[in-house]
Structure 1
């Protein structure tokens, strides 16, 4: 008896599920682990600052400058790193980035002056440059557009997981290792949490595969399914040699519109990663382990909210309004945070909402540029968009630190963050057409 159309369809669906289950295991989960370690390395400086400021001579403004310098060097080397990825492949690029950034992060334990702290942050930016846009580019090699919001959301789970794991871990390290081996608690944070990416970076060289065509861990049928889905997307975009060149991304006005909308995302991340420990400490006292445990709660809430919103975005195949509404929610939470400074429960609820909004705008955003970029234009364009976010990451801690010193509170800085998010929401709705999603090539 010949198989029916339903039988053939069931076999095809089963083969597709099998293929992407393997891709998730070999590509998505390892990249997410690397991203989690990157964010742990960003969270730990906020915890280390609680005690290192007296030893190193850092005030709020100096700390903000040091945090911001990371984003300057990161931005300068981001595009070259992503272009190099297209030449040497994913596994060499990701391994190189992780090993270098881990070594630099560990070396931060030796800083003794603000100037040395600035140098360490600049070096960390150079080492880590290109990781995030590189990961976004790698995901476009394996997942078509209709799966991308959920995939990026799962990848972005690294951010709340870093909060859930990194905050308590940092608090535990500072409480447990202070004075061991004549090292301060903040020095142990940099040493231990810096060595982790070095170890994982070595494994990534042997685990990652550059593209579906070289994936020996897929069957020939599964390779055809994965590669065929990507080729179909390129065909739908009108992919050709002209629009896929590196220079095409920089000639497109659309890229600069998208990059401008991405600018405020890093401001929210700075509030959560670098200043939230100080906000919680103000209400709870100085126990760093308790601070870490409390900050894990918003991370868990944010992860759940992000997965729900991104799943709905894929289901409806709609990106702009999902992003804009999430940005508006984030702006409201930032303004509310100015009103709850003396109430721990209200602050925790507000931080939960802020995390939900932040993770949604961070995860959903790169479904927008990947809808119209391909080829080398995607490598350069994604790096350019990410670089604009890193400029925001440079300006945010400096501005927030100076505003805090000038006014004695974070309120004015949070209102500024809210205004930038409102501007970005208007840009996404008003200047990015819905027709680009899988229908029009870069022009």
Structure 2
């Protein structure tokens, strides 16, 4: 009897692994590509700055404010966007987001003054609002809780791919298309990196199914197995209503943690090319190639940490360790400002810590939110956190205008990352970051059926 039970358990595990491998290949690469171009359209302003700022006569403060205004639009429309996604469906709504943000991003080529710079950066944020939390919510409809850190880590690796591909690509466009057909290199950058987003929006309409039971590429047996696996998820105290999510103190703690995370991320994203330039590198292609280094380190670390967190069923110390790594990276950058080698090491530590932190972080909200509350709650946490993207780029630009150096802001971002460590260790209840027992009981329930 024990042998038969062990054989049945092994068979269920093998079937489940095979099935989710099929699901991963269908879903994850597409959303990795979508997120890749979302991030390219979001941060290509950091490379365009190398030419655009002098062409248009913008100060560091103007640039920092324009970079920040993306996150204001994102913040204001994030929750409404995800609530509409919950009602309309991920397929149509994510496609709409991608097509409209691509068109708006391409319009950046027409910027001639501060007003249109600010306006279009704000509108790009409005159009993109809901994409990331929408995809994260979509994953909760397809993956059980013990698989989400890994799939989230695959998805968030798009940020690393953006750095690996985006830097050299931007350098090539700026260096080789500057003046082509009478257009500056930064204008070509906005257009050429926006077109794929529009195309991918139509691909999402064609390939994505909102729910497991609607997927024509799954057999009836595969659908039954996946639905049974999702139904076997352990019962939680999760809130289902929009009103319910406001009653959870964890919502506010998670928002504060994510605010710190986004400050740390955007502080590097929007200023990395400039920091490398101040270390003595002037050629745009070389700057683009050097920006690859932090992302190459981050992609390996991210996948390893996501897998480790799922296997051990541990979230809290994995997150805190990543935040500490980010703090150390900023400290190193600030301490050796203008020196290329330690700067590269510091930026790699920052990026590795932040990118690995994200996927684990997003496994927590579905532990206390579900249904409409999950759709709205993930968006709320994300939108409040995105205010960090308003603060950090503007702060660095202002500090640089006032002092001539970004070093004081880098020390502050190190302190912000340390604050995140404290919030993680203090503020997240244990029942939300220790899923091992619950997830094992879910699997055992499925096997018994």
**TM score, norm. by length of structure 2:** 0.93
Which of 363, 378, 381 lines up with 1:385 in the alignment?
A: 381
Secondary structure of the structure 2 residue equivalent to 1:112: coil
The yes-or-no answer on 1:436 pairing with 2:432 is yes
Question: Which whole-Å CA distance do the structure 1 matches of 2:182 and 2:230 have between them?
Answer: 54
Partner of 1:92: 92
**Could you tell me whether the CA contact under 8 Å between 2:323 and 2:421 is conserved in 1?**
yes
**Could you tell me whether the CA contact under 8 Å between 1:55 and 1:112 is conserved in 2?**
no
Show the 5 A alignment for 1:27-426.
Answer: 27-233=27-233, 235-238=234-237, 243-426=239-422
**Could you tell me whether the CA contact under 8 Å between 2:302 and 2:352 is conserved in 1?**
yes
Question: Which whole-Å CA distance do the structure 1 matches of 2:10 and 2:225 have between them?
Answer: 14
**Could you tell me whether the CA contact under 8 Å between 1:74 and 1:128 is conserved in 2?**
yes
Question: Which whole-Å CA distance do the structure 2 matches of 1:29 and 1:299 have between them?
Answer: 18
Please state how far the C-alpha of 1:271 moved relative to its aligned partner: 2.4
Greater CA deviation, 428-437 or 71-80? 428-437
Partner of 2:443: none
Taking only aligned residues, the RMSD between alpha carbons, in angstroms, comes to 1.6
Question: Which whole-Å CA distance do the structure 2 matches of 1:348 and 1:283 have between them?
Answer: 10
Question: Which whole-Å CA distance do the structure 2 matches of 1:352 and 1:398 have between them?
Answer: 23
**Could you tell me whether the CA contact under 8 Å between 2:330 and 2:350 is conserved in 1?**
yes
**Could you tell me whether the CA contact under 8 Å between 1:149 and 1:311 is conserved in 2?**
yes
Question: Which whole-Å CA distance do the structure 2 matches of 1:4 and 1:252 have between them?
Answer: 44
Partner of 2:446: none
Runs of 5+ consecutive residues of structure 1 not aligned to the other structure:
none
Greater CA deviation, 330-339 or 341-350? 341-350
Question: Which whole-Å CA distance do the structure 2 matches of 1:424 and 1:391 have between them?
Answer: 15
Question: Which whole-Å CA distance do the structure 2 matches of 1:48 and 1:21 have between them?
Answer: 39
Question: Which whole-Å CA distance do the structure 1 matches of 2:395 and 2:410 have between them?
Answer: 11
Please state how far the C-alpha of 1:4 moved relative to its aligned partner: 4.3
Kindly provide the CA deviation profile for residues 359-395 of structure 1, in whole angstroms up to 9, marking residues without a partner as x.
1122221112122211111011101100111111111
Question: Which whole-Å CA distance do the structure 2 matches of 1:420 and 1:315 have between them?
Answer: 29
Please state how far the C-alpha of 1:6 moved relative to its aligned partner: 4.7
Please state how far the C-alpha of 1:232 moved relative to its aligned partner: 2.3
Question: Which whole-Å CA distance do the structure 2 matches of 1:282 and 1:415 have between them?
Answer: 17
Please state how far the C-alpha of 1:315 moved relative to its aligned partner: 1.3
Question: Which whole-Å CA distance do the structure 1 matches of 2:327 and 2:11 have between them?
Answer: 47
Runs of 5+ consecutive residues of structure 2 not aligned to the other structure:
439-449
Partner of 2:442: none
Please state how far the C-alpha of 1:11 moved relative to its aligned partner: 3.4
**Could you tell me whether the CA contact under 8 Å between 1:83 and 1:380 is conserved in 2?**
yes
**TM score, norm. by length of structure 1:** 0.95
Secondary structure of the structure 1 residue equivalent to 2:112: coil
Please state how far the C-alpha of 1:228 moved relative to its aligned partner: 2.2
**Could you tell me whether the CA contact under 8 Å between 2:264 and 2:416 is conserved in 1?**
no
Question: Which whole-Å CA distance do the structure 2 matches of 1:215 and 1:327 have between them?
Answer: 38
**Could you tell me whether the CA contact under 8 Å between 1:43 and 1:167 is conserved in 2?**
no
Question: Which whole-Å CA distance do the structure 2 matches of 1:13 and 1:362 have between them?
Answer: 27
Please state how far the C-alpha of 1:18 moved relative to its aligned partner: 2.5
Please state how far the C-alpha of 1:59 moved relative to its aligned partner: 1.1
**Could you tell me whether the CA contact under 8 Å between 1:43 and 1:166 is conserved in 2?**
no
The total of aligned residue pairs comes to: 434
